[in-house]
Amino acid sequence: MEWEREIIEDPYNSLSEILLIFAGGACFIFQSYIGLVIFLFCFLYFRAHKWYLEKIGIGIEVENNPTRVKLHCNEQGYLDFHVNNRGLPVWGASLKLSFKDIVEPISHHYESYHGNMIEVTVPFSIKKGEKGRVRLPIKGSRRGLCRLTRVQLVIPHLFGSGKVIMNLQEPVSSTMIVFPSSSPVKLLKNRDSNRNGELSSPHSLFFDVFQPIGTREYVSGDRFQDIHWKASVRTGQLQTKVYAPSIKKEWMIAINLSDRYSITGQLESIIKHTAFLMHLAVEQNISFSLVLNARSLGITPFYYLPAGTGRKHQQKGLELLATLSTDEFTIPFHIVLQHLHMRQLVPSVFIVAGAMEARERDRLVKISIKEPEIFMLNSDEEQGVVTIWNHTLKIPS
């Protein structure tokens, strides 16, 4: 990675060199050889001083390995990046790192600037031919995604007269992400679906063919592939496999980020409550998907996390929520609802959040005509509530 070098030298050094030349010439004319030697050594010192400033820092390389530091709020971690030095050894330098206040250094002094920016100074020294690592202890401060916006290396002269300032030209690919904290949500009704799935339920009409729990005597109408041949040979009568009753539990959480012509003012509370719902779904082994009406360059024109289960799927959802900001470009939410309805992506439990205008309500009415039951996430700073979405169907004349 390339650096932009700037040499700051004492302006009196050049004047001192000129005066030493004149003084050395005078000593040579008047045959004062002791003074000539003294002035010559002083002149060589200033030349070595200038040579050092011109050469120091050349050969320092930063390994741009893409890494992502993942933290929760108030969780501690480290930001690491590696440096190689192929030039002169560097002592007593300082490395200045700038980034947003989404994370905060915990063991180094830092300064805050306008625009929620932080600049931290880290001592830096490295020998010639050495591969070093810069480790910055950090702590998650608030939800968001940030990266290093500026990397500056300040190398002072060994004798304190002048310095070299090096600014990294290429962006560092390492990023720091802080997951959103969760805020409790109260579910006034928890509805099971009537679809075949993999979750055990004693009152389900469906069965999981991958979970046999026993056998029974064969009756007319049983499927041929359900016959347990080993049990039939053992008992002398045809036996049919008995499977565990199961259902499919799946949530879809769709968030409208926009409110008229701007981002909703309840963005943070909605994100916190959504994080809680995802955590609850993982605990209850419920499959969930996430939909946001922020513009995307993927297969769908909006952010869409397909249905999944488990901690890894929850982490994907949290990363998606962490990257949201008030600068997002959104698309109309009714277009998102229309896309989900036409592609039949809406499961039996459909949770919507955010502002709902007339076009959104009309689209939800069409969705509710089929099987899905629609719920509304009412967001509050302290606690959210998920209630059944109430609507009035118009009677055609």
Domain assignment present for 326: yes
Is 396 inside any structural domain?
no
As given in the structure block, the two tokens for residue 290 are 């996430």
Same domain for 376 and 269: yes
The per-type count for the chain, helices as H runs and strands as E runs, is 7, 25
d(CA 319, CA 279): 13
Q: What is the pLDDT of residue 12?
A: 54
Residues 325 and 167: their CA atoms lie apart, in Å, by 28
Q: Do residues 352 and 264 share a domain? A: yes
Asked if residue 2 is part of any domain, the answer here is no
For the domain that residue 72 is a member of, what is the CATH number?
2.60.40.10
Residues 167 and 210 reside in one and the same domain: no
Statement to judge: residues 211 and 261 lie in one domain: no
Q: Looking at the structure, tell me whether residues 270 and 235 fall in a common domain.
A: no
145 and 80 both lie in a single domain = yes
Last residue of a domain, one of 122, 143, 178: 178
My answer on whether 33 and 77 are in the same domain is no
Note whether 49 and 74 are same-domain residues. no
Per-residue model confidence (pLDDT) at position 100: 92
pLDDT at 393: 44
Contacts 24+ apart (CB under 8 A), 238-243: 239/215, 240/215, 240/216, 241/212, 241/214, 241/215, 242/212, 242/213, 242/214, 242/215, 242/216, 243/207, 243/208, 243/209, 243/211, 243/212, 243/213
CATH code, domain with 291: 3.40.50.410
Residue-range definition of the domain harbouring residue 290: 185-190+249-388
**Confidence at residue 145, expressed as pLDDT on a 0 to 100 scale:** 92
366 plus 256 within the same structural domain: yes
- 4 assigned to some structural domain: no
| Whole-number pLDDT of residue 15 | 53
Last residue of a domain, one of 246, 269, 284: 246
- Other beta carbons within 10 Å of 87: 16
> Per the domain annotation, does 35 fall within a domain?
yes
> Is 3 a member of any domain?
no
Q: Establish if 213 belongs to a structural domain.
A: yes
Claim to verify: residue 92 and residue 155 sit in the same structural domain: yes
Q: What is the pLDDT of residue 13?
A: 56
Single pTM value for the model:
0.74
314-366 pLDDT, tens digit per residue, is 999 999 999 998 888 899 999 999 999 998 888 888 999 998 989 999 999 88
| pLDDT score at 204 | 41
pLDDT per 10-residue tile (average), the chain, 397 residues: 80 56 60 59 65 83 87 92 88 91 90 89 90 90 92 83 87 90 81 48 45 69 72 78 64 91 88 93 90 88 91 93 88 93 88 91 87 82 81 46
Q: Are residues 233 and 290 in the same domain?
A: no
Let me know if residue 222 belongs to a domain. Answer: yes
Counting the structural domains of the chain, the total is 4
Q: Are residues 26 and 74 in the same domain?
A: no
> In this predicted model, what pLDDT tens digit does every residue of 50-86 receive, in sequence order?
777 788 888 888 888 888 899 999 999 999 888 999 8
